[in-house]
Amino acid sequence: MERDNPLGTARSLPPLLADRRPGTRIALDIGATKLAVRAAGPDGSAGLYRRWAGDDPEADLALICSAIADVRCRLGDAVRQVGVAAAPTVDHHGRVTAWPSRPAWAGLPLGEALAEAAGAPVAIADDGMLAALAEADASGCADLAYIGLGTGVGGGLVVGGVVLRGAHGTAGEIGHLPVDPAGPECACGRRGCLQAYAGGSALATRAATLRSEPTSTRQLVAAIAAGDRWAVQVADEAALALARAVITLTEVVGPAEVHIGGGLGAALADLPQRVGAAVSGMGRAGHRLPVVRAAALGSHASLAGAMLLAQRPSALSPAPG
Q: How far apart are CA 19 and CA 117, in angstroms?
A: 21
Q: Which regions of 58-181 does DSSP assign to beta strands (E)?
A: 79-86, 89-90, 96-98, 122-126, 144-149, 153-159, 162-163
Shortest Cβ 175–Zn ion spacing (Å): 7
Q: Which stretch binds Zn ion (CB under 5 A): 43-51, 105-113, 188-196, 284-292?
A: 188-196
**Closer CB to Zn ion, residue 152 or residue 290?**
152
Question: How much of the chain is helix, strand and coil, in % rounded to 5?
Answer: 40, 20, 40
CA dihedral 285, 291, 292, 294 (to 10 degrees): 170
Shortest Cβ 106–Zn ion spacing (Å): 19
244: contact with Zn ion by CB under 5 A: no
Interface mask (CB under 5 A) for Zn ion, residues 130-169, using x and -? ----------------------------------------
Q: Give the H/E segment covering residue 201.
A: helix 200-211
Q: Which stretch binds Zn ion (CB under 5 A): 13-21, 30-38, 98-106, 174-182?
A: 174-182
Comparing CA positions, the residue from 27, 28, 31, 50 lying closest to residue 40 is 27
Asked if 196 and 183 count as a contact pair (C-beta separation under 8 A), the reply is yes
**Closer CB to Zn ion, residue 64 or residue 171?**
171
Shortest Cβ 186–Zn ion spacing (Å): 3
Q: Which residues of 136-172 are buried (b: 16+ CB within 10 A; e: fewer)?
A: bbbbebebbbbbbbbbbbbbbbbbeebbbbeeebebb
193: contact with Zn ion by CB under 5 A: yes
Shortest Cβ 131–Zn ion spacing (Å): 19
Shortest Cβ 99–Zn ion spacing (Å): 16
DSSP state of 130: H
Shortest Cβ 178–Zn ion spacing (Å): 8
245: contact with Zn ion by CB under 5 A: no
**Closer CB to Zn ion, residue 83 or residue 155?**
155
188: contact with Zn ion by CB under 5 A: yes
Q: Which stretch binds Zn ion (CB under 5 A): 172-180, 230-238, 244-252, 263-271?
A: 172-180
How many other C-beta atoms lie within 10 A of the C-beta of residue 116? 13
Q: How far is CA 147 from CA 19, 103, 111, 184, 194, in A?
A: 29, 25, 26, 20, 10
292: contact with Zn ion by CB under 5 A: no
Q: How far apart are CA 269 and CA 294, in angstroms?
A: 8
Q: Which stretch binds Zn ion (CB under 5 A): 66-74, 143-151, 176-184, 312-320?
A: 176-184
125: contact with Zn ion by CB under 5 A: no
**Closer CB to Zn ion, residue 190 or residue 211?**
190
Can you name the residues that pair with 234 across neighbouring β-strands? none
186: contact with Zn ion by CB under 5 A: yes
**Closer CB to Zn ion, residue 72 or residue 176?**
176
**Closer CB to Zn ion, residue 131 or residue 186?**
186
How many residues in the shown chain lie near Zn ion by CB under 5 A? 5
Shortest Cβ 195–Zn ion spacing (Å): 5
Q: Which stretch binds Zn ion (CB under 5 A): 49-57, 88-96, 130-138, 170-178?
A: 170-178
How many other C-beta atoms lie within 10 A of the C-beta of residue 184? 14
- Given the rule CB under 5 A, which residues bind Zn ion? 176, 186, 188, 190, 193
